[in-house]
C-alpha cells in the first residue's frame, strides 16, 4: 500500500506543478509536467481534465494573439 500512496503523491505534485505553470502562461511546460502524471495513474480523471484545460487554454491564447 505504501508504494501506491507514494505514486499518488508524486502524481499530485506533478499536477499541482502543471497548474501553477499553466496559470503563469507556461502552457508548453505545463503539458510536459502532466504527461508523467498520466503515466503514473491513467485512471484519475483530474489528470486528463488538467491536460485538456492546458491544451484548450493554449489554443485560446494563440487564437487571441493571432487576431490582434
Give the angle 58-18-54 at the CA atoms, nearest 5°: 20
Which residues have a Cβ under 8 Å from the Cβ of 47 and sit 6 or more positions away? 11, 15, 34, 37, 38, 41
Residue 65 to residue 23: CA distance in whole angstroms: 17
Task: Give yes or no for residue 4 having a pLDDT over 90.
Answer: no
In total, how many domains does the chain have? 1
Q: Residue 35: how many CA atoms within 13 Å on its side-chain side? A: 7
Read off the pLDDT of residues 10-59 as tens digits, 9 standing for 90 and up.
889 999 999 999 999 899 999 999 999 999 888 888 899 999 999 998 77
- Which residues form the domain of 17? 2-67
Residue 51 to residue 48: CA distance in whole angstroms: 5
Amino acid at each position: 500500500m505504501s508504494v501506491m500512496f507514494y505514486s499518488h503523491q508524486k502524481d499530485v505534485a506533478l499536477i499541482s506543478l502543471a497548474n501553477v505553470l499553466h496559470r503563469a502562461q507556461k502552457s508548453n511546460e505545463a503539458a510536459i509536467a502532466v504527461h508523467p502524471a498520466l503515466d503514473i495513474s491513467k485512471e484519475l480523471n483530474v489528470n486528463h481534465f488538467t491536460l485538456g484545460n492546458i491544451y484548450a487554454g493554449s489554443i485560446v491564447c494563440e487564437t487571441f494573439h493571432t487576431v490582434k
